[in-house]
Amino acid sequence: MEVIPAIDLLGGQCVRLYQGDYQQAQVFNDDPVQVARTWAEQGATRLHVVDLDGAKQGESVNLGAIAKIAAAIDIPVQVGGGLRTVASVTQLFDVGVERAIIGTAAVENPDLVTELCAKYPGRIAVGIDARNGKVATKGWLETSAVLATDLAKQMATQGVAAIIYTDIHRDGTMAGPNLEALRELAATMEIPVIASGGVSSLADLVNLVALEGIGVTGAIVGRAIYTGDINLAEAVKAVGPQRLQDVFPDDGTAIA
């Protein structure tokens, strides 16, 4: 399983939110490039970057910082937040980003996803951010009537490379991922699902490994690697693609 560290950009700084609340932004570092280098040095095989300003404003805001991050590390970078036009995605790819994550536009303009997948095959993912099973949009400030499972099924037919599923109620809470929702989502389609939100311990990652067989291929880790609850290097060794042996989930309280 791919363990993917997250960098959330707000005002050019590396922050974490609590349940997507911009009023509860906690600054962890004012040098996101150095943070990116640290995660790459610790064995990350991919970096997840969210332009929080962009998600709110509907256009890329932190492009300069993203370009510096992509130039500073040798691992693929995927970026989401405010990508609602072909031009905004092309702009990202031009500065070295490997994969673009479409969120709000997947709900409001699904034809854009079709167009992007045709133009950039294998490089478009869709971020599905769910609140009580329904898709949230515009930086999680609004909740649509669209069911997460319905949107996932629709997007899977459009040619997207992966679905990144975030349970908003778990995000930033360190409460553990929503395994049941992930299981339900992954079972509905053939494309990879990347879990996001709530991962707080190595035990949580081990429990996610149990879902690899149905298509949950990665986990995005945010707050826990900044607080030290998860050591990224240890997590990559324990559950990453190069792990020495299969690991098995337990009740979530301990690792045998």
Q: What is the pLDDT of residue 174?
A: 67
- pTM of the complete model: 0.90
- Using DSSP's 3-state secondary structure scheme, residue 142 falls into strand
Higher pLDDT, 17 or 237: 237
- Listed by start position, the domains of the chain span 2-239
Asked if pLDDT for residue 19 goes beyond 90, the answer is no
Q: What is the pLDDT of residue 252?
A: 45
Q: What is the pLDDT of residue 250?
A: 53
Q: What is the pLDDT of residue 34?
A: 98
The CATH H-level (homologous superfamily) assignment of domain 2-239 is Aldolase class I (3.20.20.70)
The alpha-helical segments, DSSP class H, found in the chain are: 32-41, 52-57, 63-72, 86-94, 104-108, 110-119, 148-156, 179-186, 202-209, 223-227, 232-239
Q: Which of 43-47, 103-107, 141-145 has the lowest mean pLDDT?
A: 141-145
Scan for tokens 């053939």, then name that residue.
190
Share of the chain above pLDDT 70, in %: 92
Burial class (CB in 10 A: 0-12, 13-18, 19+), 213: exposed
Tell me which residues are annotated as active site. 8, 129
pLDDT (tens digit, 9 = 90+) per residue, 63-115? 999 999 999 999 999 999 999 999 999 999 999 999 999 998 999 999 999 99
Residues β-bridged to residue 163:
126, 193
Do residues 164 and 101 touch, judged by C-beta distance below 8 A?
A: yes
